[in-house]
Structure 1
Amino acid sequence: MSADTSSHRVPIEPQKVDAPLTQHAIFLVLTVRDSDEARAAVRAGLGSISDLVKNVSFRDLTGALSCTVGIGSDVWAAVTGQPAPGELKPFQPIVGATHTAVATSGDLLFHIRADRRDLCFELERQLLAVLGDAVDVVDETTGFRYFDTRDLLGFVDGTANPVGPAVLDSTVLTEDDGPGAGGTYVVVQKYLHPLDTWRALTTEMQEQIIGRTKADNTELDDAVDGQKSHKTLSTIVDENGEHDILRDNMPFGSPGSGEFGTYFIGYARHLWVIERMLQRMFIGDPPGLHDRLLDFSTAQTGSVFFAPSADLLDGLGDS
């Protein structure tokens, strides 16, 4: 049973963090230039996001186009003029004995999703035209849905996602959580995979590392002690129960350049849940026994954002 699953009422309209899984996505991370003019331009641009989405989605109303906007701690006050959510802060690097979760720059995140690649492309194009020289692109990753929602390692991804009313319980802040009601914390990391090395493992070894069977996605028993699987290390349970997050990871890559990876994006009502998950993965539980998946997944980026309510976002154009 998940924690905090009592009646969860959000009087403020959240962004569409629970948009359905789509065939395509763009993960766009920007920095805001250090000037009052740039911050004002960003504020106005963010206030127009909903109109941009409507204009582009009108070309195909069945295309499931959406855009979730996250704002980083360094520009939160200047862009929103609102008190910062209690846990909002820059990504904290996690240094394990073998692997490191790196921190990278990022003031704005745009998670663009649709069932058509051209809809994602057109929204990104119009968005960057609106923001102009007020921003700089630091990362642009194009993801795609791979077969039956598998990652490039061959395993089904996102199995542990909450469903139904539990999605709001796990992701969206209420007024009881302080500043940020209707919003959600967002953590992104870009991982690269050495697929040749991974594929050299037996299927049984791969399954032990992941904690699920490869063919039919059956959950394997948790290890009582010693080395734990990725599934176990990324599950956070305490005296209040299990704390879920919402993942909408996407594979990305280019066979021509030999680049293959997974773009991790996690939405959570409490940032500490994702932080603890990453600590267990990179440091280990017990310490020293890190997540063996990291031997085949190298983190290239790491950033934290807060996706404010749709109401707050729409209102930025009026400020």
Structure 2
Amino acid sequence: MSDQGSSWDRVPIDAQSINAPLSRAAVFLVVTVNDTPAALAKACDALSSVGDLLKDVGFRDLTAHLSCVVGIGSDLWKRLGIAKRPAELKPFAAIQGAKHNAPATAGDVLFHIRADRADLVFEFERVLLDKLGDAVQVEDEVSGFRYFDARDLLGFVDGTANPDGSDLPAATQVGSEDPAFCGGSYVVVQKYLHDLTAWGQVPVEQQEKIIGRTKLDNVELDDDAWAQKTHKTLATIVDEKGVEHDILRDNMPFGRPGQQEFGTYFIGYSRRLWVTEKMLQRLFIGEPVGKYDRLLDFSTAKTGCTFFVPTRAMLGNLPQLATALAKKA
């Protein structure tokens, strides 16, 4: 049974476009905001203008569906002096497994930029960074692309278990359990680098046992009889009542063959942050403890950040905050 929730239908219509369709190109941009009143004010002004910037750039080809989701980190939320905060918002918690670790890295704001044209993604990021100027420092910048039929660089289809239809808002958007932030979402991002040489030496049948799906036709495999749970099973979160809790993944492959860099940028949107946190704990610590996700023997986490995605209305209110901050500069 999936997590349908009881209050998702109260979600405001101005929720950000986290449910934008799978795009051909994306940029995952993480920045930190300099800790001065002037920098904070400038950042607030830029964040509130994202909607206008999308119109300015996206008009060139409306069929390319240019979009940008803005997420705000726990530390920046505090520094902005906003009285209320999302109930579960906190910094990414680093995970120390017996063999593999999930590090926590710096990040105040996430910009998840998507379109079916890479030039529009590029242009929007350029204009956005010009707007932010010296108020921010770029911590991570990854350009992703759709790989064949939505496969990762390991050769498997990614995102198969994503919720859709009425299950999508129920899984990804805060409801009446936190009414001040209804319509918002939690988002966790991680950058993984793959050892494709080592992965390529693993027989396909064994690869399928690690992932939990067939490689060619993406058929789900049953691992009940196996001693080691698959990646698919470890990433499935079921609570004590037997209710399955979904997240929305919009992962993208990225790479630079000339530098032997091959990876997957993980991005998971959720209504409840604890769901994604529990999933990562199961992957890195194991279930039971020690039976970690064997995919991690070939994929190394390099970054880890948590953000809250406010509604468009919340972003639109930031100019008032910017004005107040500017007076302190």
**TM-score computed with the length of structure 2 as normaliser:** 0.94
Letter in 1 for 2:258: G
1:48 shift after superposition: 0.4
Amino acid at match of 1:2: S
Equivalent residue for 1:109?
110
Report which stretch shifted further, 3-12 or 136-145.
3-12
Match of 1:276 among 275, 278, 303: 278
Instruction: Return 126-135 or 225-234, whichever deviates more.
Output: 225-234
Rounded to whole Å, the distance in 2 between the matches of 1:61 and 1:318 is 31
Task: Give the structure 1 partner of residue 37 of structure 2.
Answer: 36
Q: Is the 8 A contact 1:158 1:247 kept in 2?
A: yes
Q: Partner of 1:163: helix, strand, or coil?
A: coil
Shift of 1:9: 1.4
Matches within 5 A, 1:227-238: 227-238=228-239
Deviations along 1:130-158, one digit per CA (max 9) or x if unpaired, are 11000000100000000000000000000
- How far apart are 1:225 and its partner, in Å? 6.0
User: Equivalent residue of 1:62, what SS?
Assistant: helix
1:215 maps to 216
Superposed displacement of residue 7, structure 1? 5.8
Q: Distance in 1 between matches of 2:38 and 2:225?
A: 57
Q: How does 1:5-24 map to 2 (within 5 A)?
A: 5-6=5-6, 8-12=8-12, 13-24=14-25
Matched, 1:185 2:186: yes
Q: Is the 8 A contact 2:7 2:175 kept in 1?
A: no
Q: CA deviation at 1:55?
A: 0.7
Do structure 1's residue 27 and structure 2's residue 35 form an aligned pair? no
Kindly tell me: are residues 206 and 81 of structure 1, through their superposed partners in 2, closer, same or farther at Cα, counting changes over 3 Å? same
How many residue pairs match? The answer is 319
Q: 1:286 aligned to 2:288?
A: yes
Shift of 1:10: 3.1
One-letter identity of the residue aligned with 1:10: R
Separation of aligned partners in 2, 1:59 and 1:306: 30
| Residues 3 and 240, structure 1, Cα contact 8 Å, conserved in 2 | no
**Amino acid of the residue matched to residue 270 of structure 2?**
A
Q: Is 1:252 equivalent to 2:254 in the alignment?
A: yes
Asked if 1:226 corresponds to 2:227, the answer is yes
Can you give the 5+ residue segments of structure 2 that lack an aligned partner in the other structure? 322-329
Contact 2:3 2:167 in 1 (8 A): no
Match of 1:2 in 2: 2
Q: Which residue of 2 aligns with 1:267?
A: 269
| Map of 2:153 onto structure 1 | 152
Two-structure CA RMSD over aligned residues (Å):
1.3
Q: Is the 8 A contact 1:3 1:243 kept in 2?
A: yes
Superposed counterparts of 1:21-100, under 5 Å: 21-79=22-80, 81-100=82-101
Look up the SS of the partner of 2:63 in the other structure. Answer: coil
CA deviation after TM superposition for structure 1 residue 316, in Å: 1.3
Look up the equivalent residue of 1:275 and give its one-letter code: E
Deviations 1:185-216 (A, max 9, x none): 00000000000100101000000000000000
* TM-fit CA distance, 1:3: 1.6
Is the partner of 1:175 in helix, strand or coil? Answer: coil
Contact 1:245/1:268 (<8 A) preserved: yes
- Give, as a single letter, the amino acid of the residue that structure 2 aligns with 1:184: S
Structure 1 residue 176 displacement after superposition: 2.7
Shift in Å, 1:310:
1.1
Unmatched tracts of structure 1, length 5 or more: none
Over 3 Å counting, the alpha-carbon distance change for 1:66 and 1:80 in structure 2 is farther
TM-score (normalised: structure 1)? 0.97
Q: Which runs of 4+ in 1 moved over 6 A?
A: none
Moved more, 78-87 or 281-290: 78-87
Q: Secondary structure at the match of 1:129?
A: helix
- Sequence identity, in percent? 60
- Give SS of 2:259's match: coil
